[in-house]
A and B are shown apart, each in its own frame.
Chain A
Amino acid sequence: MTPPGLTLALSALLFGLGVTGVLVRRNVLVVYMSIELMLNAANLAFIAFGRLHGGLDGQLFVFFSMVVAAAEVAVGLGIVVAVYKQLHSVDVDQLNLLKF
């Protein structure tokens, strides 16, 4: 397989692991870290495709996606702390979160 192919396989596996983490874990912080793993897998795919196509689009998207992730984490952890102060728990099940 070509390097982009290998990188894409790696990114698919990392993405799958991230989704698993979101669905399996109940600790909100670990769930959020798993979401970061998913984003990282997507970034990896962007870099691989960027190398395949040439040009700057892939790498600049990754740059912006990191900016977005940083902003989202800042707000997200703020909300986690606010919830923890009220409920003294960061358990997804106790919050009735992710009810499928």
Chain B
Amino acid sequence: MTGPTSKKTKRASWSGDRSRALGRKLIVPILLLVAWVVIARMQLFRTRVIPPPEAMWASFLGLYEILPSAILTTLTMTLSGFAIGTAFGTLMGLTMAYSRAVREFLGTVFDFLRPVPVFALIPLFILWFGIGRAPQIALIAMGTSVVLGVTTLEAIRNVPSIYVRAALTLGGNRQHIYRTVILPYIVPHLVGAIRVAAAASWGLDVAAEFMGSQQGLGYLIIMQQVYLRTAGIILLVAVYSTLAVITDTIIALIEARVTRWTERRAGIGVVASIVGSA
């Protein structure tokens, strides 16, 4: 096995911290890739369990044509559900915090619906909306709105009272304070929940597609499973992952822009190394 060591020495010959850091980041993935190739070559497992690289390539060529439309379907459904759920959940949280009347009337229903395992609702949605896009979007929207609703409510409860007091002594009324104090304050706190909700959306989408769709990546995965094409499944899962990473990166970029005013960005040095931001 001379492969990995020669790769490593090549890298080490560039001098400097940057290439060493890069080396540290890449070494585990590279070792895993090498291990995979070796295991496949030595046929330690049946091809159904660990497909060799050639099978991956063949699978890719086979799926190549239908992949784009499947990705588009999955993407539009997941993002719609996520967008609807986030908007609805945040709005729900805001309304419940703002209006005591809403809290009293809808609070019980909300508390009751909250712990329902969302996946259990898939069959219900299929009966209601039929097989197609609607039940999927409904599921994703439902799942994400609960997360966002609860987080929004909690975030509002934790707004430091001093800001509200200051706003009151400057002439702000309830509505104005919600718009100019509460909302800006909770945005950075919601972003964390939004990232989690985005990741969860993908999971919800897969479950929804498994249960009854005729197109999309999840549907393709089921098809691959039926024909025992392990390589195809791995490939499709990788596509799912890539989509999730891309959306997460986009959200992270928006987060950076929107949290410009928070103290977080001032954490350089020792503090950052302890809390893991450096």
Asked whether A and B interact, the reply is: no
Question: B interface vs A, CB < 8 Å?
Answer: none
Residues of A within 8 A of B (CB): none
